[in-house]
C-alpha cells in the first residue's frame, strides 16, 4: 500500500476509534480499543476502501494500526488474480 493510501486510511481509522487523526500512526495501539462497534465499523471501512472483507477474529488480533495495514495488504494480495 502506498504512503498516501496508508495515510488516508489511518485518518479514517481514527474516525472509527473517535480519536484525532493526527494521533493515529502505524504504532497507534489498538489492542484495548476493539469493541463490537469498532470491529464492525473497521470491517466496513476496509471493505469500502479496498474491496476486501477481513475476518473479525483476525482484525481484533491487530494490536496496532500497522497490524491492520498489514492485514489489509495481505487480504488484498490474496484477492489478486492468479492467487
Q: pLDDT (tens digit, 9 = 90+) per residue, 31-53? A: 999 999 999 999 999 999 999 99
DSSP, res 63: -
Cell of 15: 474516525
- Rounded Cα gap, residues 40 and 33, in angstroms: 13
Query: Does 82 have pLDDT greater than 60?
Result: no
Each domain of the chain, given as residue ranges in start order, spans 3-79
Domain 3-79 matching CATH 3.30.1340.30: the answer reads: no
Cell of 38: 469498532
- Rounded Cα gap, residues 79 and 21, in angstroms: 29
pTM: 0.90
Tell me the pLDDT band of 80, cut-offs 50, 70 and 90.
low
Amino acid at each position: 500500500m502506498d504512503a498516501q493510501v496508508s495515510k488516508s486510511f489511518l485518518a479514517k481509522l481514527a474516525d472509527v476509534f473517535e480519536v484525532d487523526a493526527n494521533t493515529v500512526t502505524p504504532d497507534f495501539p489498538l489492542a484495548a480499543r476493539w469493541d463490537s462497534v469498532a470491529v464492525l465499523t473497521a470491517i466496513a471501512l476496509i471493505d469500502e476502501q479496498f474491496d476486501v472483507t477481513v475476518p473479525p477474529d483476525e482484525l481484533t488480533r491487530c494490536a496496532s494500526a500497522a497490524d491492520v495495514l498489514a492485514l489489509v495488504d495481505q487480504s488484498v494480495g490474496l484477492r489478486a488474480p492468479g492467487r
